[in-house]
Amino acid sequence: MLYLVERKKVVIVGIPGVGKTSLVTRIVELINAEKHCASVHSYGTVMMGEAENNQVSDRDNLRHLPVAQQKDLQKQAATAISQLTDDVVFIDTHAFISTNEGFYPGLPYHVIQILEPTHLIAISARPEEIYNRRMKDDTRNRDKISIEAIKKELAVQDAMLASCSVLSGSPLKVILNNEGKIDEAAQNVIDAIGMGV
């Protein structure tokens, strides 16, 4: 008898420095090793593909665009991602974007309506770990930040994602990605979305 896998669209967020991208890569490896079809799609990369048509050449400059332009790019990216058909689609994104106008939601209602996520996962870590990871990351053009500012970002992330859970009706889970424990964090995410590998 053939059993169909319930398709899952998992929005996974984390502020810079929580190790989200490395963790999602590991999760996809583990799920695919069990003969399921899982993929990860960076929301920012999909947006950047759309933004290049508007002469934006650096992904870190997306957040400096006017909010109205960011909103249009979000809609285009959400539409592209919503059409993917893998068993598990991970949408690697941020709960908010720090703009000149303030914190702009990375998952406003119009994006949630298009994506229709089945699960919301927030990746977190201790503020000191996040700070140290950011200081070591020379691959991105990050703003300098303090541990107090990181604590504020974590609080804003929690508030934004809780709102997304209410609006989408999707369960929300916070997963700690402690230094050196990526496999433990990956298994916690896999269990939370019901893939049990």
pLDDT, greater one: 50 or 174: 174
Candidate CATH numbers 1.10.1740.10, 3.40.50.300, 3.40.30.10, 3.30.830.10; the one for domain 8-191: 3.40.50.300
Average pLDDT estimate for 12-21? 93
Residue 121 has a pLDDT of 98
Per-residue model confidence (pLDDT) at position 54: 67
Indicate the domain borders of the chain. Answer: 8-191
What Å distances lie between residue 197 and 32, 37, 128, 191, 192, CA to CA? 10, 13, 31, 8, 11
In degrees, to the nearest 5, what angle opens at C-alpha 77 toward C-alphas 73 and 80?
145
28-43 confidence digits (pLDDT tens): 999 999 988 999 999 9
C-alpha distances in Å from residue 87, one per residue of 5, 93, 99, 133, 154: 7, 19, 34, 32, 30
Dump pLDDT digits (tens) for 140-155.
666 678 999 999 999 9
**Interval 106-131 mean pLDDT:** 95
Give 57-108 pLDDT, tens digit per residue: 777 777 777 878 888 888 999 999 999 999 999 999 999 988 778 898 999 9
Q: What is the pLDDT of residues 146-191, one digit of tens each?
A: 999 999 999 999 999 999 999 999 999 999 999 899 999 999 999 9
Q: Check residue 35 and give its pLDDT.
A: 87
